[in-house]
Structure 1
Amino acid sequence: MASEHRLQFRHAVDDDWPEIFAADARAFGSDAPRDDALKANERGRIANEDVVIARDPALPGEPLVGQAMYYRLAMSVPGGARLDFPGLTWVSVAATHRRRGILRELLTRLRAKWHAEGHPIAALWASEGTIYGRFGFGPALFADDVRIDDRQEMRIPAPKQSQVRYATADQFIQVAPALYERWADVHPGVMLRDELWWEDYLLDDRPSARPFTTGDRQYLLHPDGYATYHLDSTAPGLPAARIEEVVAATDEAHTELWRVLSSLDLVVTTTGTLPVGDPLRFKLVDLRGVKVVDHYDTLWVAILDVPGALRARTYARDLDTTLVVDDPVGEAGGSYRLHIADGTATVTEGPGGTGEIACAITDLGSLYFGGVDARSLAAAGRVRASSPELLTAFADVWRTAAHPATGVDF
């Protein structure tokens, strides 16, 4: 067996990309090759210096045996501020080279780069639930896959004149980015889309790129939001609808868009994904009209700089305590005085305040967007408070005005 020191780790160069694309497709089971347009879009969103690869010089051709990289992204945090962060992605190790420390070396190198660049947090969508806690990431946001089997009626009567209309792709792209930005203002955790990300969104709907079972994307517009979906008419019987995205900057837009989506003509089943906390089921006459078929984690967050991360967002109540953070994989551990007043956090090194809260860096990442309750973590032995009252206060500070969401799967 080759030892770890024989492996070569370095940043990518242009000539590495054919193998990078092949390794990604192999690792994640892609059965549809990327065409030139998709490859060009990906290359525009990921710089060579943000990619670390591993090659094995002991084998013929020095094959690529591991890779990890990141998108340079921004997201909304509680309070509405935008925070730049590295979005870890395309992580894989060849099945021929497991248990050689490749993944740890790849992520150690990327974390050192993020630390040098001064990023307070990093994030990813995890393909497996047991890997990334070892590298400081905690599950922070969650979603439900849902199914609607019958036409549903809203509790709120329909307006005399609907503001929802169908649009073409060209009409959609003229207004969707601004509506998406407004949605990010309301919901923390939303990843922002630049021009290349919107291009990727549109490229993904070409017949050559989308699943063969779906028809053209349908676009619904409202002055305060939009929705997109596909119809699948290939199965026997009536068609099914797959809701792709619902973006609503107001409750009214959310209601009116779902009024249409939950009662599509001649559709036997409608499926989609809702962020945990979405109020759809409470807007229906039949509370059971929305059935949850799967519940899973979406965004995982790593806190790289405790003071920097905590200062970036706002909070729901005042608090003054000592926060003790254990970080076995990075340099963010230590004891901090966490003083929150009027929604703003002041974080200084060293103890102070009343009582003490202790947790691992992964659990702080889970709490960051308000999608996880500190009392649940305490019940699991992952958050420790010096008093029940302090635990309640600590749980309350993370509450957000609107439920968190994500918006981009990377």
Structure 2
Amino acid sequence: MTATPPNEQPTETTYSARGSNYVLRKFFVEEGGVAANPEAVEWHRAVDHGFHGPEPTEEATGHILESMRAVGTRLRAAYTADPVPTAALGADRPVATFCSWNSELTVGPGAGVPAWLISEVTVRPTHARRGLLRRLMTDDLTEAHEAGFPIAALTASEATIYGRFGFGAGTFNTEITVDAHTRLQLKAPTVGSVEMADNQAVARLAPEIFERFHRQTAGSVDRQPKWWGLVSGAWDWHEGKSDPEIRTAVHYDADGRADGYVSYKFLPTQGFEGALKVVDLVCPNWEGRIALWEYLCNLDLVTEVRHAGAPMEDALMWGMVDMSAYTVRKRFERLWLRVLDPVAALSARRYTSHRRLTLSIVDSMGFADGIFTIDTTGDETRVERVGDRPRTQDDLAGKSMPAVELPDGVDVALNVDALGSLYLGAVKASTLYYGGLLRVRDQDALRDIQALMSTPTDPYCISPF
């Protein structure tokens, strides 16, 4: 794949705030690895420092640069243009980092939209409160909007940061533990078979199996090539090294076709016993997923199985004879969604309810702002922008999250971050309404927007980035 997305070139500009001066650059990873990309090397070091990671080795940096180059990642950085004090980090080390790349978000079985994925957002604490994040985010989202991307997405380490930029929590996961002391007892027999597998063979199977999962699972995003090293233990990008403790197993359907896999590792706890940590579990059907869980829980010396990326509503729990052995340790938002083009985004997803509604969308950054109609009463969904919404006092004051007001003739009014949460059905419209995040003409309009945006299943993302 090419290092630079078509029609994109490196850029450089200047920025000043609170008496500090900066150079802002956008650039790409080029051929030649570490030696040919000194700017990207320093960018990667700044990212690791920003997330309190260890100093990356040359080998680890090489793997990361290769993965970013493979998907045409655009790197953004802010550099101080002021004199650097003695012993401080050099001027070639960014004080803020940001990156994005082109991907795809599944919005329903067989349906997807282009998605602009954002990651590695850091600002050095000594350069905070100078608007660097807002400037990098604004530049990046502006490019995404101008390039015609309907939606942007990110996974967040801090949930309080991104709402002001229009991102809403769009998918959720749970962190679970399944007690395996008495092995997994199920109400119905599992389907197919599971075999322990060769890690490298699984790494070759994994992309095709994941693709089948991705195509039919709302909330899924494409994976970068680095995932297959994580699955096999060949390279763990979190730790910056290989992991020889990884084991794998494959599920086969009734015809003997490989249709799912699990990657896991054993964590000793007491004596010879221990817990299993699920690294990656992928199968496009629930029958295969439950069979893989049965395999994990029935391994000798395993007292519990831990999974940090389980779905919100899990068929496994309902299939267990003793569902009290299934414990949810944590519930968290996985994918944050930012609608950039409501017409394209809302037209792409599928609806099970026939309604016609007029929406007022508040977007302080302007990309999705306006009044829109959505009509699902015909053979095809029709979404149109019908006008500007009236300006409010919050708009005139330049607030990043203006209060939502309901204009005349509009059924539903909401902020663009709330639209991101509604988009794939992660939350009911009534929940947002009772939380004060949605305004409606009347209770009929609330019932209509709830019916319109509801989905048959919860969105599910298993690919943090």
Query: What TM-score does the superposition give when structure 1 sets the normalisation length?
Result: 0.91
The aligned runs of 1:7-406 (5 Å cut-off) are 7-12=22-27, 14-31=37-54, 33-34=56-57, 35-45=60-70, 47=72, 50-60=74-84, 61-62=90-91, 63-150=93-180, 151-158=183-190, 162-193=192-223, 195=225, 197-199=227-229, 201-202=231-232, 203-205=234-236, 209=240, 215-223=245-253, 224-233=259-268, 236-272=271-307, 273-341=309-377, 344-350=380-386, 356-406=411-461
**Quick one: structure 1 residues 374 and 315, their matched pair in 2 at CA, closer, same or farther if it must change by over 3 Å?**
same
66-75 vs 215-224, which deviates more?
Answer: 215-224
SS of the residue corresponding to residue 90 of structure 1 reads strand
Shift in Å at residue 156 of structure 1?
0.5
Aligned residues: 406
SS of the residue corresponding to residue 174 of structure 1 reads helix
Aligned to 2:404: none
127-136 vs 143-152, which deviates more?
Answer: 143-152
Shift in Å at residue 236 of structure 1?
4.7
Shift in Å at residue 39 of structure 1?
2.8
**Quick one: structure 1 residues 345 and 271, their matched pair in 2 at CA, closer, same or farther if it must change by over 3 Å?**
same
The answer to whether the 8 A contact 1:205-1:217 is kept is no
Report the Cα distance in structure 1 between the residues aligned to 2:247 and 2:236, rounded to whole angstroms: 7
Amino acid at match of 1:59: P
Shift in Å at residue 171 of structure 1?
2.4
Shift in Å at residue 148 of structure 1?
1.6
Report the Cα distance in structure 2 between the residues aligned to 1:210 and 1:282, rounded to whole angstroms: 38
Amino acid at match of 1:239: G
SS of the residue corresponding to residue 294 of structure 2 reads helix
SS of the residue corresponding to residue 227 of structure 1 reads strand
Cα deviations by residue, 1:318-376 (Å, 9 ceiling, x for unpaired): 11011110001232111111111368421112279x96011100000011111111111
Amino acid at match of 1:135: F
74-83 vs 329-338, which deviates more?
Answer: 74-83
Report the Cα distance in structure 2 between the residues aligned to 1:342 and 1:245, rounded to whole angstroms: 41
Shift in Å at residue 396 of structure 1?
2.2
SS of the residue corresponding to residue 108 of structure 2 reads coil
Alignment root-mean-square deviation, CA: 2.7
Shift in Å at residue 390 of structure 1?
2.3
Report the Cα distance in structure 2 between the residues aligned to 1:356 and 1:221, rounded to whole angstroms: 48
Structure 1 gap segments, 5+ residues each: none
Report the Cα distance in structure 2 between the residues aligned to 1:398 and 1:367, rounded to whole angstroms: 7
Amino acid at match of 1:383: L
Report the Cα distance in structure 1 between the residues aligned to 2:454 and 2:226, rounded to whole angstroms: 33
Cα deviations by residue, 1:161-212 (Å, 9 ceiling, x for unpaired): x521121123213332222122123311111236455356544349974697
Shift in Å at residue 235 of structure 1?
5.7
SS of the residue corresponding to residue 137 of structure 2 reads helix
Report the Cα distance in structure 2 between the residues aligned to 1:137 and 1:100, rounded to whole angstroms: 21
Report the Cα distance in structure 2 between the residues aligned to 1:247 and 1:392, rounded to whole angstroms: 35
Report the Cα distance in structure 2 between the residues aligned to 1:132 and 1:143, rounded to whole angstroms: 18
Shift in Å at residue 54 of structure 1?
0.6
Report the Cα distance in structure 2 between the residues aligned to 1:206 and 1:9, rounded to whole angstroms: 27
The answer to whether the 8 A contact 1:317-1:340 is kept is yes
Report the Cα distance in structure 1 between the residues aligned to 2:431 and 2:189, rounded to whole angstroms: 38
Shift in Å at residue 17 of structure 1?
1.5
**Quick one: structure 1 residues 206 and 155, their matched pair in 2 at CA, closer, same or farther if it must change by over 3 Å?**
same
The answer to whether the 8 A contact 1:46-1:70 is kept is no
The answer to whether the 8 A contact 2:251-2:288 is kept is no
**Quick one: structure 1 residues 200 and 264, their matched pair in 2 at CA, closer, same or farther if it must change by over 3 Å?**
closer
**Quick one: structure 1 residues 233 and 344, their matched pair in 2 at CA, closer, same or farther if it must change by over 3 Å?**
farther
**Quick one: structure 1 residues 111 and 158, their matched pair in 2 at CA, closer, same or farther if it must change by over 3 Å?**
closer
Report the Cα distance in structure 2 between the residues aligned to 1:228 and 1:335, rounded to whole angstroms: 47
Shift in Å at residue 297 of structure 1?
0.6
**Quick one: structure 1 residues 158 and 54, their matched pair in 2 at CA, closer, same or farther if it must change by over 3 Å?**
closer
Structure 2 gap segments, 5+ residues each: 1-15, 29-36, 85-89, 254-258, 388-406
Query: What TM-score does the superposition give when structure 2 sets the normalisation length?
Result: 0.80
38-47 vs 397-406, which deviates more?
Answer: 38-47
Higher-RCO chain (CA-CA 8 Å, sequence separation at least 6): 1
Shift in Å at residue 400 of structure 1?
2.8
Amino acid at match of 2:447: T
Shift in Å at residue 82 of structure 1?
2.4
272-281 vs 76-85, which deviates more?
Answer: 76-85
**Quick one: structure 1 residues 283 and 176, their matched pair in 2 at CA, closer, same or farther if it must change by over 3 Å?**
same
